[in-house]
Amino acid sequence: MASSSCDSDLSEQKDNTTKKGKKMGRMSDVMKKMRLQSHEQGPPWNCTRLKCHEAINKEERKSVLQKFYNLSTNDEQNAYLCELITIIPVQRRRSRQTEEEAKFHTTAFSYKVRMKREDVIEIPVCYKAFKPIHGISKDKLNFCKNL
């Protein structure tokens, strides 16, 4: 009879500790830190015009990714990305359709990566390189372009 009361006390104690952990957010903090440290770069890209893959070596890409995810809030990350995106008006519009039917773009975008070598420099990169270097998705990049 005494053993059954001890078993029920142990099960109540286990339930209380998990509730406390959930309530205090300890597990979510640990998971958040693990998620932040586990970001990886995307697959290699094939850029022929700017030769982005050759301009930035692997260690530099890793440091850019780490610095980006060490920014504390999502707003800071978005502000950082917006600084690296330049809006350029379209200079030449060519369409195979008539001018009334064509849907012309009004802006073009150029991307750069900020790095520290001897001093802080900004290297122009293509769209395909910008996303995996920072470990972001297409949707996050589109959100930043529309800000």
Distance set, CA 136 to CA 51, 88, 102, 131 (Å): 20, 22, 31, 5
pLDDT on residue 37? 56
Per residue in 20-30, pLDDT (tens digit) is 555 555 666 66
Residue 114 DSSP SS3:
strand
pLDDT at residue 73 above 80? Answer: yes
Give the pLDDT band of residue 142 (cuts 50, 70, 90). very high
Q: Parse the chain into domains and list their residue ranges.
A: 41-91+105-147
Per residue in 84-113, pLDDT (tens digit) is 999 999 888 787 888 788 888 889 999 999
Give the pLDDT band of residue 147 (cuts 50, 70, 90). confident
pLDDT on residue 143? 92
State the residue for tokens 């039917």.
101
